[in-house]
Structure 1
C-alpha cells in the first residue's frame, strides 16, 4: 500500500541530503564533526580511567558513544526553526498535505549522521577501552543506535514545534535537552543514582531504554532480554512524534487562527 506520508518524507529527505552536502564535505564531517565527537567520548571515558575503576571505563565509553547520535539528532530543533527564516513555513501550512511529515523528512540527515558517528565510536573506540564485540552483537548494537537516533529525533521534533514561534531559543532548548539526557539517562552515571522523580522522567526518553539494552548486549544477555529492555523506546518515540503532531496542529488551528496569521511570528 502506498502512503502519501511516505512521499512527503521522501521529498523532505531529498532536501535534507542537499542541506547536508551544503553543510559538510566528507573531509569536514570526518575530521571536524566526527573527530570532535570521538574526542568527547575519549574525554569523558578518560575521567573514568582516572578514577581507576575498569567498570566505570566500560560504562562511560558505551554511554558517551551512544550519546553522540543524540547530539546529532537534536540538531532538528535548529533546522526546523529555520523554515520560518527561509519563509517556507507559511507555504507548508497553506499546502493540502500535512506539513509535519515534510518537516519530519526535512532533517533526517541528522539522525543518519548520528548513527554513523555512534557506530564509529562504539566499534573503533570501544575495543580500546576493553569492550570486546562478538560478531552476533554487532547488528543488535547497530539496531539500538538506529533506534536511539530515531527516538531522539522524535523528541527533537516535538521541541522544534514548541519553539517554532520563538526561534531565538532553538539552540538553548536543544542544548539543554541533550545535556539533560546526558546527565539523567544513564550516560555518565546510572539512572538509579537520581531521585525517584528524575528516574520516572527519564523513562520518557528513548535513550534511557536503548542504552540500558546496549549494556545488556555487551554483558552477553540473550536477545529476548535486550528486546524487552529496548521495547519501551519504540513507545516513547511514537509518543513524542504524536506530541509533535499535536503541538504543530494546535499552533496552526488555534493560535494562528486567533492571531489571524499563518507566519506564527506574533
Structure 2
C-alpha cells in the first residue's frame, strides 16, 4: 500500500498567526520551528513512501526547503488541512493508495500513532478514513478544563460507538462529567489531529458544501460525518508521554516542558 504523508501548514492562523514557524526549544537547548518538528516526526514513520509540506505561503515554503523538505504549493483559499491535502493530491498528480494528513501543529505526535493508523487502514479495506484517539489521563483532562475555563479553544474531544465509528467531535469537552464524580478510567478521548484517507473520499470532500456542524465547531472531520462517511477511531497509547497540540501561544510552554523531559 503506497502511503504518502502530507503536512498542511498555513501562516494565517486566527488564534496563532505564523504558527508553523514558531520556534520551539528542544531538550538539548536548540530551537526548531514547528513545521520542522512535524517534518522530522514524519521521517520516522515506518512504511511511508513520500512526505511533503503543503502550504500556500512563501515563508513556510522557504523554511521547508531550508531544512530539506519537499513542498507542494496550494491556493490561499483552502479553508483547512483536509482541503489543502485534497488540493495537493490534484496539484502534484500524486499516485498513492493512502494519504496521511499530519497536522503541522502537533510536534508531540509519536511515530507509532501514525503507524497504527496506517496499519488500521491496511487491515480494514472497508474503512474510508481513520483518525487516532487517546484516552485522557488526569493531567490532559485538567488541561482541557483549564483552557475552557480561560475561554481558550484548545484540543478536540470525540465520542464513538462500539464499532469505533466516530459519533461526534467537539472543541467542548465531551461527554459531560458531573463535578466530583470522575469515573476511572476517565471516559474522555482526546482526538489526535491526524487523518488517513483513501484518495477517493479525500476528493469527495471538496465536492460537499460545508455543513452546519463543521461551521459551528470549525472541525473539518465533521463534514465526513454530515455526509454519511464513517470516521474510524483508532485508540492509541501515549506510552507514558504527554500528547498536546500547539493551538494557542500558551501551549508553547506546555510543549517545551515535555521536550525538556525527553
Structure-2-length-normalised TM-score: 0.30
Structure-1-length-normalised TM-score: 0.29
Larger Rg: 1
